[in-house]
Structure 1
Amino acid sequence: MKRQVFGNDSWLQAAAFYLRYQVFVLEQGISPELEFDELDWRKPNYFVIFDGQIPIATIRYQRDSKRADWIRPDRFCVAKPYRKQGIGQQLLVDYEAKAQKEGYLGSVLSAETSAQGFYEKLGYQPFGEPFYEDDILCITMEKRFKAR
């Protein structure tokens, strides 16, 4: 049975770290020194989806450092066996709903160019030039939330 948990408890952060290590470090070859950054040690909130006791999707929840009224989803990943099932889409939609409820006006993120279509389907628009982040080609994308 799948369940979604939000918060910053140590056990939840450990589950997010476990999944991020699997996806970003082992699968994509990003060095752990780059994947786990200073923001992780400030005890940010995470959304984590579990299948039983196994973390299968996660995203870090934080305010954008340049625009305080925007949210910056990052460290977003879904375990390989669970991809293409709508889990990532639902997680991002839930993330945005929480942000809107808390008064944020929009969302800005760095997307791997291979995932650009995924974000565009959810209303994100690319801006700026592509750039390399952790040796992966990325593009900045943003989405302004609709007024309620």
Structure 2
Amino acid sequence: MITFIKYKTIDRNYYRQALTLRNRVLRKPIGKDIYSEDLSVEKDNDFYAALIDNKVVATFSVFAEAPQIAHLTAFAVEPEFQKQGIGSKLLIDAIGDLKRKHFKQIKVNARSTAYGFYQKNGFKAVGHKYHNDRLGIDDYLMIYEITKS
């Protein structure tokens, strides 16, 4: 059974599991290590996770970029659970939460490999692909309009 939760960095068990997942899925494949990054920027973020048997199998975080504009970041799903709808369900759950908090828009810097996922879930690309110098990968700025959902 899948459980969806919202947590903060002070929820050490979930945050530690999420970091391990994010490092394995998002950083190691591009030759980076999440533990060498300044993670203090996440201290006020809201995190969302899908749990199976209290184990984080999908996660991402959100921060307020501006009034009524949320920014989604670090979306990772365990490879064995990808393409099963878990990420989409987690995203829908978070969108509902953000809507209740009166956010009107969600932005994401989507990797080229995740472009189709976000597009399938209602995000629209703004402009063309660009190079993310910090990570050394190509990204797309994509936006989801909550008010239109």
Gaps of 5+ in 1: none
Shift of 1:129: 3.0
| Aligned residue number for residue 21 of structure 2 | 19
Gaps of 5+ in 2: none
| Aligned residue number for residue 98 of structure 1 | 97
Shift of 1:16: 1.3
TM alignment of 1:65-144, pairs within 5 A: 67-133=66-132, 134-144=135-145
1:62 partner amino acid = F
| Aligned residue number for residue 47 of structure 2 | 46
Shift of 1:92: 1.0
The change in CA–CA distance for 1:79 and 1:28 in structure 2 (over 3 A counts) is farther
Aligned residues: 144
Shift of 1:98: 0.5
TM alignment of 1:48-63, pairs within 5 A: 48-63=49-64
**Alpha-carbon distance between aligned partners in 1 of 2:16 and 2:51, rounded to the nearest angstrom:** 13
Shift of 1:116: 1.3
Instruction: Please list the CA deviations of residues 46-88 of structure 1 after superposition, one character each: whole Å capped at 9, or x if unmatched.
Output: 1111111321100112111xx3211111111101000000011
1:31 partner amino acid = D
Secondary structure at 1:123 match in 2: coil
Shift of 1:27: 3.5
Secondary structure at 2:91 match in 1: helix
TM-score for the superposition, normalised by structure 2: 0.86
**Alpha-carbon distance between aligned partners in 1 of 2:138 and 2:82, rounded to the nearest angstrom:** 21
Q: Which runs of 4+ in 1 moved over 6 A?
A: none
**Alpha-carbon distance between aligned partners in 1 of 2:44 and 2:57, rounded to the nearest angstrom:** 20
| Aligned residue number for residue 5 of structure 1 | 5
Shift of 1:101: 0.6
**8 Å CA contact retained: 2:131, 2:138:** yes
**8 Å CA contact retained: 1:46, 1:60:** yes
How much is the aligned-residue C-alpha RMSD, in angstroms?
1.8
**Alpha-carbon distance between aligned partners in 2 of 1:105 and 1:112, rounded to the nearest angstrom:** 23
TM-score for the superposition, normalised by structure 1: 0.87
Tell me whether 22-31 or 48-57 shows the greater mean CA deviation: 22-31
What is the identity percentage for the equivalent residue pairs of Structure 1 and Structure 2? 20
| Aligned residue number for residue 32 of structure 2 | 30
